Amino acid sequence: AQSVAQPEDQVNVAEGNPLTVKCTYSVSGNPYLFWYVQYPNRGLQFLLKYITGDNLVKGSYGFEAEFNKSQTSFHLKKPSALVSDSALYFCAVRAFNTGFQKLVFGTGTRLLVSP
Amino acid sequence: EAGVVQSPRYKIIEKKQPVAFWCNPISGHNTLYWYLQNLGQGPELLIRYENEEAVDDSQLPKDRFSAERLKGVDSTLKIQPAELGDSAVYLCASSSPFAGGMTDTQYFGPGTRLTVL
């Protein structure tokens, strides 16, 4: 079975500082990994995904994520946080070589960027 | 390009009443998903459609939940009768298989927030 863990319920960071939102995964086979962001009363917005290739994936709004196979992690990062980045962030995984597998989401991490 | 459209955005009903949610996917997306998102949790898949065929409904509580996508475009999710525990956000998503099969990105609608009293 595939699963995702987001160990932090909330991450606090000051505007202008770098941010990291952590995600670890467990799958049988190679993973497809995704990050989504959810603003209040809105649906999930796609940020970026890792399929294959470079371990550093760049996405929307200046976000990037680093795939680390040995640590089974896919942490979301941004060099300089904005107050407008405050939202709920979800990591999700889908297995590669087991036929179609549903997208499994973590429980989410709330990012709070203070001015 | 218009995104995934869902209606209503909010619904308040009393328990044992029926309720229906509607979703119109992004034009050209033949894969449609319904997810359930409980408070403080990530979305969980209820059902997936490829065109008009439900290809994965293993997580759908079939005693009270039903879904249809008759013409392979828009879809309706129904609960009858609703229970207190059904209070949640119901999200619809769509994707295009031509973007790479399992690598395709799912695009989500704003969701319907259901409150059962």
Minimum distance, in Å, between the CA of residue A96 and any CA atom of chain B:
7
Q: What is the per-residue pLDDT for A85? A: 96
- How confident is the model over B43-96, as pLDDT tens digits? 999 999 989 999 888 889 999 999 999 888 999 999 999 999 999 999 999 998
Taken in order of first residue, the domains within chain A and their CATH numbers are: 3-114 (2.60.40.10)
Q: What is the per-residue pLDDT for B100? A: 52
Tell me which DSSP letter residue B104 carries: P
Task: Confirm or reject contact between A5 and chain B (CB < 8 A).
Answer: no
Mean pLDDT of the region B97-115: 80
Judged by average pLDDT, the poorest of A18-22, A51-55, A70-74, B90-94 is A51-55
Domain segments of chain B as ranges: 5-116
Whole-Å CA distances, B18 to B59, B60, B64, B82: 20, 16, 9, 6
Q: Are B49 and B112 in contact (CB under 8 A)?
A: no
pLDDT over 60 at B101, yes or no: no
**What CA–CA distance (Å, rounded) separates B36 from A115?**
34
Q: Are B5 and A43 in contact (CB under 8 A)?
A: no
Among A95, A90, A89, which residue's Cα sits nearest to residue A72? A95
pLDDT band for position B23 (cuts 50, 70, 90): very high
Annotation: CATH topology of B5-116: Immunoglobulin-like (2.60.40)
Mean pLDDT of the region A28-47: 89
Report CA A29 to chain centroid distance, whole Å.
19
Task: Confirm or reject contact between A82 and chain B (CB < 8 A).
Answer: no
Q: What is the per-residue pLDDT for B86? A: 96
Q: What is the per-residue pLDDT for A102? A: 77
Q: Is A94–B91 a contact, with Cβ atoms under 8 angstroms apart?
A: no
Task: Confirm or reject contact between A60 and chain B (CB < 8 A).
Answer: no
Q: What is the per-residue pLDDT for B13? A: 97
Q: Is A43–B91 a contact, with Cβ atoms under 8 angstroms apart?
A: yes
Task: Confirm or reject contact between A32 and chain B (CB < 8 A).
Answer: yes
**What CA–CA distance (Å, rounded) separates B96 from B49?**
12
- Residue A5: list chain B partners with CB under 8 A: none
Report CA A68 to chain centroid distance, whole Å.
13
pLDDT over 80 at A96, yes or no: no
pLDDT over 90 at A88, yes or no: yes
- Residue A46: list chain B partners with CB under 8 A: 105-107
Minimum distance, in Å, between the CA of residue A106 and any CA atom of chain B:
6
